[in-house]
Structure 1
C-alpha cells in the first residue's frame, strides 16, 4: 500500500463543457473536508489534502477497517457533517476539525460521515492507473456502506439536469463532472475532473442601499450596493448586499423609494453598513442568484437580476392582510435559514418514552412525559401507549425532539441509506432511480419550510409519502405503510400544521422502531377528531412477538393539528 497519494484536484467548469455522454459522469459535490483514507484490516489512517493526519479527529471512520478487503485499500473522499436541516455544512464540521481527540459528547452532537468518491488501491493492486469507469465499478464491488460510510450514486451525463435540480433542492453547492476514460492523476489539477458551481435564484426584499464613493466625497447618491432582507418571525432580517451597475435601469426606482426618518431597518445589519445606508419603504422585491448560505445567514456570492413586478412577487414577501401600512409594514413571514435556533416545528410537545427509543423526551406546558409502561390514556382497544406530539404543537417551552443532535443522526442515516439505494438502482433500474431521486428532492424542499410559521397539511403529507416511497424501496417486504386521507375524517387538507412535524414523527417511527427489527413492521398515519380539534396519530406495528403488538398497534406519536374544527 502506498504511504502517500496526493489527491487529484478539479478545475472549475460548467455543464456545457461536457458534450460527449459516453465520456462523462455527473455526481453530487459535497462540502466538507477532503481526505484520502489508507485502510488496513487493523487500522485506518486519514490524511488531508495537504498530507496532514486527521485520523484522531474522526474516530468513527475507523469502521472502514472492517469493510475493506484483506489486503487493504486506499480511498479518496470527503468527510462531511450535516446541519439541522440535514444538509452538508462546514459549520458543524469545524467543531470536529478543531480537536484532535473529540469527546464522546461532541461525536454524538456532531456526527460525521465519509463520502467515498474514488478507489486508488485495493487488495494488493494499484487501480489508480485504470480509467475512472473501471475504478468506479471496482469501488461499487467492495460494497462499502453503513451509518457513517457513503458511496454516492454516479449518473450519466443525460441525467445532469435532474442531478443539478436535486442538488439545488438539497442545498449542495455544486456538481462534479468526471471523465470516464482517464486515469487518476495524483496531485494534478485537471480539466478531466470539473467542479460545476450551482447558482440558486430567489426573490428578496430590497431593504435599502449604500451610496457609492468614500466618506467626504461628493457621492451624488449613486448606488454602490443594494441591501437585501427576508421576512423573519420578528420582522425582516438582513441577508447581505449585492452590487449593481451605476447605469442599471432599476437604480432610479430604488433610489426614489427612499423612506423617511421613521423607516425601519432590518435586523442584524452590521454597524459599518447601517451607518451609511439609505433605507427604502417596503414594497420593492428583487431577484438574485446566489450560491447558498454562509454560516452567518448571508447569501453567498449574490448576483443582482433585477426588480420583480408586483404581480410576480412571491406571496411570502408581501405584507399580509393584517399588516400595518406605512414604513414599518414589512411582512413577518419566514424564509431565512437560522443556524442559531431550532425550528418551532418541534417545540412544545412531549416524546413517548419507549425503551427502544434512543432519544429522551421532555414536556410541554401542562403535560408530563408519557411512559411506555403507562396504560393507554385513550381507552381504545389495541393501543398500548401514547405520546403527545413528539414533533407536534404545544404551548409554552418544550424540547427540540427533531432538530439538533437527534436530527443530525437520523438525517445522516437517512441521506446515506437513500443515496446508497439510488446508487444500487442506477445501473439495474434507471427509471426507479430517477423516481427516487425526484422524491429525495421533494423531501429536501420540505426542509426549506422548517422555519416557516406554518405549513399546509397536504404539503406535509406529500413529503411523508415521498419519504415512505424511498423507505419502502430500501426495506422491501419488511415495511408496510398506510396514509389515511384527512378529508375522509372531516379534516381540511389545507389545514395549517407546524412544518416538518408530521414528517419528523413518521421518520422517527421508521428509523427508531421498524429498522432495528429484523422482520420489520408497519407504519400508519391516522386522522381523527380529539377534544374538538383535528389531530394525527402515527401508529407502529412491529413484526414478531414484541409485547406492544399483542393487542394492536403502538401509538408512537400524536401530532395535533393547528386549526380547530369549525362549529
Structure 2
C-alpha cells in the first residue's frame, strides 16, 4: 500500500498485483490452485464506502467519472467499506467481454447518457483486499475469495464470476473456448496478495485459436539469400469465397515464420510455382501490406490455404502471435470457417442476398463447429438490415430479426430490436452470478449451465447469418431456460418439445428468432408475477415441409411462429 487514511481507515492506494504468463501444466505440478476466466477489460481497483465509490486504474489514475454506473457498489457495501480488485468490462453482441466496445467508454472522461445506453459497463470483482477496517492482503486467496462471495454484491452492473478447483481446469478451458474468451487465470489458493508485484502465484493462461488463412506472399529469410523463405504473408478474403472461386482480393493480417528444415524447403518449392507480379492484397487502407514489409515481399497467386494459430487480434486487425500449422487440403475449409474477423462488425448494413454471414456480429476468430462446414444456406430471405449508425457513435449492435406473430390472448410484445445490449448485459450477469452461486451448492449443475451458456453465446454470435438449423435454435432456447430456471427456482416451469415427424436439422430459422419469443414471454409476463409461471415451446411439422413453433405462457396466451420449408437447392 502506498498510503493509508487515519487509524485503521481505508488505504488510499493499493497497487494491483500482476500475473505472470503460464499454462495449465503449471497448475498440475503441485499445490492447490483456483481456475477462473480471464475477462477482457479495463483493470482497476474500487474503493467503496457507503454511498461513495472511487475507481483507480492500475497506474492510480482516477476513472470514477468514466464509469458512473458503478456507483451501485456504494449501495451494496458492508460495514465501513471495502476495496475490490477487478475489471471493468463491456459486452459484445454475443454477451462476451470485448475490448472494442469498451474503447468507446475509456476514450471519454464523462460519458453522455446516450453513450452509456449504447455501451453499458459492469464491474467484475475478482479479489477482496480490505473489508470493514480489516486489511486482507496477507490472508490466503481462498479466504479472500470466500469473503468476497459472502458480500452479496452481485447484481446489475456487478459480477462475481465463478471460481473452480484446479481439477476442473480442462473443463474450464473448454468452456472458455466455447464462450470465446481469451484466456484463464490460475491462482494459488494459499497465496497472499502481493500488491504492485508480478508473481508466479497468479498465472495467466492464454487460449489459442485456429483459423484458415491465405498465403499471398513471402519474405526472404536474409537479404543476401533472397530465394530462401523466411516468413509467409497472410491474408483473409474480403468477400466470402465460394468453392472453386478465387480467394482474392485479400486483407493483410500479418506474417508468420515457418521454422527450418525439410518442411521449409518443401514449402519454398511449392511457393515458387505460385509466383505473381502483382500483390493479391488490398492496394490501400487497413487491408494493405505495410510499406516496410511490401518493399521486400515476393507476391503469390492466392491459391494456397493454410492454418494459423493465434491469441487474438491486434488493434490493427492483425493476428496476435500467429503460429503456422501447415497447409490445408482443398475442401477442408467451409464458408463459416472464414468468418470471424475484427472488421466484420464495421459493416453496419448487410444485403438481402444471403451474404449476411459476412455482416455484423462476427466477433471471434474461432473455427466453427464441424457440423456447420459446407452447409448450403436455404433460399429464405435474410433478416432485415439494421440501420446504419452515425459515424460519430460507432457501429450499433445488429438488430434481432423481426418475428411474424399470430397471437391468442397474448399482449403485443416489444419488437425484437428493443432487446438491446443493456438487457443482454443484465442477463449475462444474472447467468454468471447464478452459476457462481451454484458452484458452492451444486457444482455439477453449475458446469452444465456454464457449457449451455457458452453454446447460447455462440448462437447469439451468429446474428447476421441468414439462417441456422432449427435444432441449433432450440438448443439455445433450452440453454436459456435452464439458466432462468436455476435463477427463478420454483417460480418458473419450462418445457421444450419436438413432435414426432419433424426433423429440426432440416428446417432453418434466423438466429435467435425463437429465443426472442421465449425471452419476451419470460421477462414480460412471468418474471413480474410473484407466483411465476410456466412456459412451453413446442415445434411440430406444418404439413407443408416446414414447421410451426408455439410458445405458450400457460394461463396467459401463446405466440406462433411459422418456419417455411427449405427451398430446393439447384443441382
Query: Could you say which TM-score interval applies, normalised by the shorter chain?
Result: 0.7 to 0.9
Residue 253 (structure 1) shift: 5.8
Name the CA distance, whole Å, in 2 between partners of 1:218 and 1:259. 17
Structure 2 residues without counterparts, runs of 5 or longer:
1-9, 242-246, 351-355, 358-381, 387-397
Q: Cα distance 1:430–1:278, how it changes in 2: closer, same or farther (>3 A)?
A: same
Once the two structures are superposed, what CA deviation does each residue of 1:328-383 show, in whole Å capped at 9, x if it has no partner? xxxxx745452313684884299xxxxxxxxxx9999xx9x99xxxxxx85x7545
Name the CA distance, whole Å, in 1 between partners of 2:523 and 2:301. 49
Residue 261 (structure 1) shift: 7.1
Q: What is aligned with 2:300?
A: 279
1:228 maps to which of 217, 232, 235: 235
* Deviating more after overlay: 524-533 vs 30-39: 524-533
Q: Is the 8 A contact 1:24 1:157 kept in 2?
A: yes
Q: What is aligned with 2:373?
A: none
TM-score, length basis structure 2? 0.78
Q: Is the 8 A contact 1:6 1:187 kept in 2?
A: yes
Q: Is the 8 A contact 2:539 2:550 kept in 1?
A: no
Q: Is the 8 A contact 1:265 1:279 kept in 2?
A: no
- SS at 2:13's partner residue? coil
Name the CA distance, whole Å, in 2 between partners of 1:299 and 1:188. 29
Structure 1 residues without counterparts, runs of 5 or longer:
319-332, 351-360, 371-376, 392-400, 544-548
1:255 aligns with 2:271: yes
Residue 430 (structure 1) shift: 1.6
Q: Is the 8 A contact 1:513 1:542 kept in 2?
A: no
Q: Cα distance 1:495–1:383, how it changes in 2: closer, same or farther (>3 A)?
A: same
Once the two structures are superposed, what CA deviation does each residue of 1:420-462 show, in whole Å capped at 9, x if it has no partner? 1111121221211222222223223334534544322212222
Q: What is aligned with 1:328?
A: none
* Deviating more after overlay: 45-54 vs 420-429: 420-429
1:315 maps to which of 329, 334, 344: 334
- SS at 1:472's partner residue? helix
- SS at 1:288's partner residue? strand
Q: Cα distance 1:78–1:304, how it changes in 2: closer, same or farther (>3 A)?
A: same
Q: Cα distance 1:384–1:508, how it changes in 2: closer, same or farther (>3 A)?
A: closer
Once the two structures are superposed, what CA deviation does each residue of 1:179-232 show, in whole Å capped at 9, x if it has no partner? 1112211111111111111112x24042422232689x7722635223132684
Aligned residues between the structures: 506
Q: Cα distance 1:486–1:531, how it changes in 2: closer, same or farther (>3 A)?
A: closer
Name the CA distance, whole Å, in 1 between partners of 2:220 and 2:258. 11
Q: What is aligned with 2:347?
A: 341
2:256 maps to which of 242, 248, 255: 242
Name the CA distance, whole Å, in 2 between partners of 1:2 and 1:97. 25
Q: Is the 8 A contact 2:413 2:520 kept in 1?
A: no
Name the CA distance, whole Å, in 2 between partners of 1:151 and 1:386. 32
Residue 139 (structure 1) shift: 0.8
Name the CA distance, whole Å, in 2 between partners of 1:464 and 1:28. 24
Name the CA distance, whole Å, in 1 between partners of 2:453 and 2:399. 31
Q: What is aligned with 2:566?
A: 563
Q: Is the 8 A contact 1:505 1:538 kept in 2?
A: no
Q: Is the 8 A contact 1:349 1:363 kept in 2?
A: no
Residue 242 (structure 1) shift: 2.3
1:461 aligns with 2:474: yes
Once the two structures are superposed, what CA deviation does each residue of 1:298-333 show, in whole Å capped at 9, x if it has no partner? 43221111123447x243379xxxxxxxxxxxxxx7
Q: Is the 8 A contact 2:281 2:289 kept in 1?
A: no
- SS at 1:458's partner residue? helix
Residue 386 (structure 1) shift: 7.4
Q: Is the 8 A contact 1:25 1:156 kept in 2?
A: yes
Q: What is aligned with 1:290?
A: 310
Name the CA distance, whole Å, in 2 between partners of 1:74 and 1:485. 50
Name the CA distance, whole Å, in 2 between partners of 1:381 and 1:168. 42
Q: What is aligned with 1:210?
A: 218
Q: Cα distance 1:317–1:491, how it changes in 2: closer, same or farther (>3 A)?
A: closer
Q: Cα distance 1:381–1:194, how it changes in 2: closer, same or farther (>3 A)?
A: closer
Residue 97 (structure 1) shift: 1.2
Residue 249 (structure 1) shift: 5.0
* 1:305-454 matched pairs, under 5 angstroms: 305-310=325-330, 313-316=332-335, 334-336=339-341, 338-341=344-347, 344=356, 347-348=383-384, 378=406, 381-385=408-412, 401=417, 406-454=419-467
1:30 maps to which of 18, 35, 39: 39
Q: Is the 8 A contact 2:469 2:504 kept in 1?
A: no
Q: What is aligned with 2:395?
A: none
